Amino acid sequence: MDDLIKNLMEKFDLPLDKVKGILSTVAGFLGDKLPDPIGSTVKGFLDGDDDGEGGGFDLGSLTDTLGGFFGGDDDK
């Protein structure tokens, strides 16, 4: 998540607060448009946490949710 924030800041010459606002808007939009549990997982990924450390992101949770949605085997 930190890499995404850094890339957006550098590529578009934006301050941290603007990037967080953009990600929050995108997270809300996708969270509302995608079916659960994908929408809530994507929203959690993009929202992260308030200290900018990306603590809300859990790649395992995201891949488990997507795998289950597409008929993946949850018992590995």
What pLDDT shows up at residue 72? 53
**What would the pLDDT profile of 30-44 be if each residue is shown by its tens digit?**
889 999 888 888 888
d(CA 48, CA 2): 10
Entry pTM: 0.58
Distance of alpha carbon 56 from alpha carbon 1, whole angstroms: 9
Name the percent of the chain lying above pLDDT 70.
62
Distance CA 62, CA 27 (A): 14
CA 17 – CA 31 distance, rounded (Å): 21
Closest CA to 43 of 34, 3, 53: 34
